Amino acid sequence: MVPDEVLNIKEVSQYLKIPVSTVYKLVQEGKVPAVKFGKHWRFLKKDLAFIFEQKKTEGLK
């Protein structure tokens, strides 16, 4: 994994194996960090991996 790899919304959807509409919802709710450039959302893969690990850890409690 490239730590500073930048993903678009479709790539995030594929990476997390969730629908694009769910990614948009998570961004709007502030649950997934993203930056909007014009009409396009961009995500850092390392941020997604960090959130995934947090959720996994929460699930173990």
Q: What is the pLDDT of residue 52?
A: 86
Topology of domain 6-60, CATH: Arc Repressor Mutant, subunit A (1.10.10)
Q: What is the pLDDT of residue 19?
A: 98
Over the stretch 2-61, which tens digit does the pLDDT of each residue have?
Answer: 668 999 999 999 999 999 999 999 999 999 999 999 999 999 999 999 998 888 888 776
Domain ranges of the chain: 6-60
H helices present in the chain, as ranges: 9-16, 20-28, 45-60
Q: What is the pLDDT of residue 1?
A: 56
**CA torsion through residues 54, 59, 1, 19, sign:** negative
Burial of residue 34 (CB within 10 Å: 0-12, 13-18, 19+) is: buried
Q: What is the pLDDT of residue 55?
A: 84
